[in-house]
Amino acid sequence: MGHLDQLKDNEVLNGRYLEQYRRDSGVLGDELVYLHSNLRLLSQLRQFPAGLFHAPRALLWFWTKNLTTECALICCRLWKDKPRTALTLDRLAKWLTDRAIRPHYRDELRARLVSARVPDSVESTIENLRTIRHASIAHLDHHVVLALKSSPQPVSFQELRAAAEALGAFFNALSFGLEQHFIVAQFLSKDDSWFGGDLGYVLDRIALGSRWFTAPETHPAFWRIFRKELDAQQLHEINAVRTRHSMPPLD
pLDDT in tens, 120-176: 999 999 999 998 888 777 777 666 555 555 554 578 999 999 999 999 999 999 999
| Residue that wins the pLDDT comparison between 231 and 5 | 231
Contact indicator for 155, 164 with CB cutoff of 8 Å? no
pLDDT of residue 158: 95
Inter-axis angle of helices 157-173 and 57-78, nearest 10 = 40
71 part of a folded domain = yes
Q: Please, which pLDDT band fits residue 71 given cuts at 50, 70 and 90? A: very high
Higher pLDDT: 185 or 130? It is 130
Q: Which pLDDT score, from 0 to 100, does residue 153 have? A: 52
With respect to residue 206, please indicate whether it lies within any of the assigned structural domains: no
Residue 193 has pLDDT above 70, yes or no: no
Mean pLDDT of 203-212: 86
User: How crowded is the C-beta side of 143, counted as CA atoms within 13 Å?
Assistant: 0
Specify the pLDDT at position 183. 77
More confident of the two residues 183 and 17: 17
The more confident residue out of 37 and 144 is 37
Give how many domains the chain has, as a whole number: 1
Inside any domain, residue 87: yes
Torsion sign across C-alpha atoms 93, 96, 97, 102: negative
DSSP state of 249: P
Structure confidence at residue 250 (pLDDT): 84
237 in a domain, yes or no?
no
Question: Is 208 contained in some domain?
Answer: no
Residue 17's pLDDT band (cuts 50, 70, 90) = very high
Per-residue pLDDT, 152: 41
The answer to whether 241 touches 204, Cβ cutoff 8 Å, is: yes
189 confidence band (pLDDT: 50, 70, 90): low
pLDDT number for residue 224: 87
Q: Which domain holds residue 144?
A: 4-186
- What's the predicted TM-score (pTM) here? 0.86
Across the chain, mean pLDDT equals 87
Q: Is residue 21 part of a domain?
A: yes
Taking residues 215-235, report their average pLDDT. 87
For residue 207, is it within any domain?
no
Within-domain flag for 115: yes
Q: How confident is the model at residue 86 (pLDDT cuts 50, 70, 90)?
A: very high
β-strand partners of 13:
101
The stretch 172-187 carries a mean pLDDT of 81
Quick one: pLDDT at residue 93? 97
Q: Are 68 and 154 in contact (CB under 8 A)?
A: no
